[in-house]
Every structure is written in structure tokens, then in C-alpha cells.
Amino acid sequence: MRELLTTALALLLLTSFGARAQADPACVQLSSVTTSANETRNDRRTKLLKVLRQKSFPSEEQIRTVGSDVDSILATIINNRELDQPTRVRAVWCLKYFKNKRARLLVRSIVTDPMWLKPFKIAAVVAMGYTHGDEAFDTVRDSCNDSDADLRLACIKAMDVMGGQNALNLLRSMQVRERDSDVMSAIDKVIKKLARPAYPR
């Protein structure tokens, strides 16, 4: 039952993509918190856990106002197995806000290491889509052949975020071999979106 709940959370992350967090007035209140000079790393960790456990998905502003070392604290939370899994999965998802080396390496290790459970991998694949670059594309491409349909759906979202001709070509090759109806539908939608010609304004 617990695994089903965590999988559901990961899929909810996949479908929401933080849109609610941007529009939720309650989120705006939390994001106004500033970092004080006397604040310890433990204080910032407590603040970050509070943000991660709120009802709506955290916005980038909320995450960054925790402090300049917030990506390091996210990594600590993700690797702490004593914390609840849904909070750790949200922390993985929030790595999409960081394009630095630490965040990229952690996201990549979650995607490629078989020891990480499915909800973490789903969140990491989506987060990887936001980091851009050839390295991210290659890692996501390798996951597109996974036997799990939910993980392939996460790859499609990552390709949607990355965009470009490489993503479009990959989705077309997936389309030929895909058998899951939900995945096929997602591929069709993203191909239509990415294949649309960009007209000048």
C-alpha cells in the first residue's frame, strides 16, 4: 500500500509540474521568508522540510529563499532514508530548479542507479529534462527503453521540456515501438507540440 501511495505521488508530480505552486496564494506567503545571518544549516533544513511538506508543490522562489546552500540541503534530504519517502521524492523533483554540477550529478545518479526506487526515478527523469544539455538528453534517452510505462511517461515529459529536433526524433522512434496506450497518447501530444512550426511574432 505504501509503495502505491509513493508511486501515486511521483505520478502526481509528473502531471502537475508545479503549475499549482505558481498560482497558489498560500505559496506566496511562505516564499516571503528570508534567510537570517544567524540561521544555522539545521534551521534551513527545518525550513526546507516545511516547504517540501506543504500542500502545493514548491515554487523555485520558495526553494531558493531557504538559503544559498539549499541545493546541498536538498541532497542531504534526498539521501536521508530516515525521512518519509514522499518528502524525499519532492526534494528530487525540486532539483529541476538547479543547473549546477551538484544537482546534475545527483539527478543523473538517481536515474541510472538501480538501487533507487521508481518514484525517485520518475521525479529525477522529469528534473533532468530541465537541466538541458547533451548529457541530460543522453541519460533520458537511455531511460526511454525502460520496461516500466510510468518511467517512459516521465521520459516523454522530459523530452517535452527539452524540445528540439533530437527530442522530436527520439519521440518518433519511441512511437514506432510503443504498445502502452497512455504512453502512445502522451507521445502523440508531445510530437504534435514539438513539430509545430515556430512562426515569428
Q: What percent of the chain has pLDDT over 70?
A: 79
Between CA 85 and CA 89, with CA 87 as vertex, the angle to 5 degrees is: 70
What are the sequence ranges of the domains in the chain? 1-114, 132-196
Full DSSP string of 89-141? HHHHHHGGG--SHHHHHHHHHHHH-TTS-HHHHHHHHHHHHHH-HHHHHHHHH
| Least-confidence region, from 19-23, 107-111, 136-140 | 19-23
Angle between helices 70-79 and 85-94 (to 10 degrees): 140
- Write the DSSP assignment of 40-78 as a string of letters: -HHHHHHHHHHHHTSSSPPPHHHHHTT-TTHHHHHHHHH
Residue 171 is placed in which grid cell?
A: 519521440
pLDDT exceeds 90 at position 29: no
Nearest alpha carbon to residue 44 among 20, 23, 21, 70: 70
Cα 28 to the center of its chain, rounded Å: 21
- Residue 9's pLDDT band (boundaries 50, 70, 90)? very low
pLDDT at 121: 97
Q: What is the pLDDT of residue 138?
A: 87
CA distance 41 to 173: 46
How far apart (Å, rounded) are the C-alpha atoms in residues 34 and 91? 20
Using the predicted structure, report yes or no on whether residue 39 has a pLDDT greater than 90.
no
Q: What pLDDT, on the 0 to 100 scale, is given for residue 42? A: 94
pLDDT digits (tens, 9 = 90+) for 149-200: 999 999 999 999 999 999 999 999 999 999 999 999 999 999 999 988 765 5
CA dihedral 60, 65, 67, 68 (to 10 degrees): 60
What share of the chain in percent tops pLDDT 90? 66
Q: Compute how many other C-beta atoms are within 10 angstroms of the C-beta atom of residue 91.
A: 27
Q: What is the pLDDT of residue 3?
A: 54
